[in-house]
A and B are shown apart, each in its own frame.
Chain A
Amino acid sequence: MKKAISLAGAVEMIPENASLMIGGFMGIGSPHRIIAELVRQKRGGLTVIANDTGRPGFGIGQLISAKLVRKLIASHIGTNPETQKQMIAKEIEVELCPQGSLAERIRAGGYGLGGVLTPTGLGTIVAEGKPTVEVDGKQFLLERPLKADFALVWARRCDYRGNLEYALTARNFNPVIAMAASTVIVEADEIVPVGVIPPDTVHTPHVVVDHVIERNSSHG
């Protein structure tokens, strides 16, 4: 049985300057309640690894607007001018990574691999300072694995044991980050008895999930 945790208690576990992987794509499939609670508790100096930073004040954009992020690794910040502004003002360090490479770097971190060999980024700015490796006569860029202290995962359903089921395009990075962090915290739309999610439709098995946020808990 996975011990349920209050929203406030979950965020209290996350120290200042922690590294966080956060699920979601333009805020679709992001753990919005955890994000709002990070803002409420003013958890600063964060390193955030995520696809994007949503829009100003929406999704991960809430963390950016509250100036809680010190370093960001993402594939796209174009929909959030606030992120670009803070980057230009050097208030936030941004590493832009091709989306497919970002996904695979996180996967490599979670799957115990030493890196990713990808053709993406060869000969571009992205390749600067990175080794290339030749395999069977083809060149590949070596991208390093990514890991984090916490993964903040959204799921449509989580059963009492912590098995997760996602939804449509809200799945995106969620199952990938659930493998790559020391502590995995889940925010689910529904918490259901074991068996409601059939074994074949469990997208993330419970063994990697550490905490499930109480469905109806609010802060305090």
Chain B
Amino acid sequence: MDSKELIARRVAGELEEGSLVNLGIGLPATVANYLPKDMTVYFQSENGIIGMAPLPEAGLEDPYLADAGGRFVGAIPGACAFDSCFSFGLIRGGHLEVTVLGGLQVDEQGQLANWVVPGAMVPGMGGAMDLVTGTKRVIVAMTHTNKGERKIVKKCTLPLTSLRRVTLVVTELAVIEPTADGLMLKERAPGVSVETIVAATEARLIVPAEVPEMRIAA
């Protein structure tokens, strides 16, 4: 299992039956692939739908049904469509249970930077700032380091997405829960030692006596 699959499988374990969930583009979107077959989760796409589902098969594209990345998708029975104001009313208004997003940096306060690298990458924040500010549970799904550079840092050096403390950070090495006291190491990936995680993390981690291995969705 590669790093990204491990992360996606672990995040899948956080989603609950019947909940309203928004998955970001890229790695977060793959979380949907690892839910139990009998589980119903309502996926919102911020471009205006609840009940997004994979396209049943190639050739069945509806030109007016796409995800937030512009890729054609399908929908489950009972799906509903709405405009951008309503969509962000769900997000900002606290009606969305979980959002899963990628990250560039997370710091000791649990604050996330994930939308811009000034001078290098300026894609715009899209819905990220509203999602992180308004969603009940914000899960950051990202690799622990980027080309050897540590991404879980003392203080974000990249521009913040929101002042809000995120709920959980899931990487290929660890599950970390930002708390009022700092970053709590909750789980380690199979076969990964606490020392390896600490070495790959610039931020101070609160390490309990027992750090269990990750529960990975089968």
Chain A residues with CB under 8 Å of chain B are 25-29, 51-52, 54-55, 74-79, 84, 87, 96, 98-104, 107, 118-126, 156, 166-176, 203
The reply to whether A99 and B133 contact each other, CB–CB distance below 8 Å, is: no
Q: Which of B87, B124, B130, B133 contacts A74 (CB under 8 A)?
A: B124
Contacts A84-B122, A171-B82 given; indicate if A100 touches B127 (C-beta within 8 A). Answer: yes
- Contact A75 B161, beta carbon cutoff 8 Å: no
What are 15 contact pairs spanning A and B, CB under 8 A? A54-B70, A75-B125, A78-B123, A96-B122, A96-B124, A96-B125, A120-B162, A121-B133, A123-B160, A124-B161, A168-B49, A171-B81, A173-B83, A176-B83, A176-B85
Known pairs A28-B64, A51-B84, A103-B88; A77 contacts B124 (CB<8 A) = yes
Cα separation A84 to B134 with both chains bound (whole Å): 28
Any chain A CB within 8 A of the CB of B62?
A: yes
List of B residues within 8 angstroms of A76 by Cβ: 123-126
Q: A100 touching B83 by the CB < 8 A rule?
A: no
What 3 A-B pairs have minimum CB-CB distances, sorted nearest first?
A: A78-B123, A100-B88, A26-B70
Q: Is the CB of A99 within 8 A of B83?
A: no
Task: Please indicate the chain B residues that have their CB under 8 angstroms from the CB of A102 in the complex.
Answer: 84
B76 proximal to A (CB < 8 A): no
> CA of A156 to CA of B47 in the docked complex: distance in angstroms?
16
Q: Are B66 and A169 in contact (CB under 8 A)?
A: yes
Q: Please tell me if the beta carbons of B85 and A104 are within 8 angstroms of each other in the complex.
A: yes
User: Does the CB pair A120–B92 fall under 8 Å?
Assistant: yes
**Are A98 and B85 neighbours in the complex by a CB distance under 8 Å?**
no
A102 to B47, CA, bound (A): 13
- In the bound complex, CA of A97 to CA of B67 (Å): 20
Specify which of A28, A55, A119, A170 is in contact with B134 (CB 8 Å cutoff). Answer: A119
Complex contacts, A167 vs chain B, CB 8 Å:
64, 81
Partner of B124, one of A27, A78, A175: A78
What 1/0 flags go to B38-59 for Cβ under 8 Å of A?
Answer: 0000000111110000000000
B residues 88-130 near A (Cβ < 8 Å) are 88, 91-92, 116, 121-130
Q: CB of B212 within 8 A of chain A?
A: no
What is the CA–CA distance of A51 and B49 in the complex, to the nearest angstrom? 16
Asked if A172 and B64 make an inter-chain contact with CB atoms under 8 angstroms apart, the answer reads no
Are the C-beta atoms of B65 and A168 separated by less than 8 Å?
yes
Please indicate the chain B residues that have their CB under 8 angstroms from the CB of A28 in the complex: 47, 63-64, 66, 70
Partner of B126, one of A99, A104, A169: A99
Contact A75 B83 (CB under 8 A): no
Given contacts A26-B66, A77-B122, A173-B83, is CB(A100)–CB(B130) below 8 Å?
A: yes
Closest Cβ of chain A to B81, distance in Å, is 5
- Central interface residue in B66, B84, B85, by most chain A CB within 10 Å: B84
Question: Which chain B residue lies CB-closest to A204?
Answer: B83
Residues of chain B within 8 A of A77, CB atoms compared? 122-124
The docked-state distance in angstroms from the alpha carbon of A27 to that of B124 is 17
Contacts of A176 in B (CB 8 A): 83-85
Determine the distance from Cα of A101 to Cα of B123 in the docked complex, in whole angstroms: 17
What is the chain B residue whose CB lies nearest that of A156?
A: B64
The answer to whether A168 touches B81 (Cβ under 8 A) is yes
- Bound CA span A169–B70, Å: 10
CB distance from A5 to the nearest CB of B (A): 24
A51 CB to closest chain B CB (Å) equals: 7
Task: Given A99-B126, A124-B162, A171-B48, answer yes or no on A29-B88 (Cβ-Cβ < 8 Å).
Answer: no
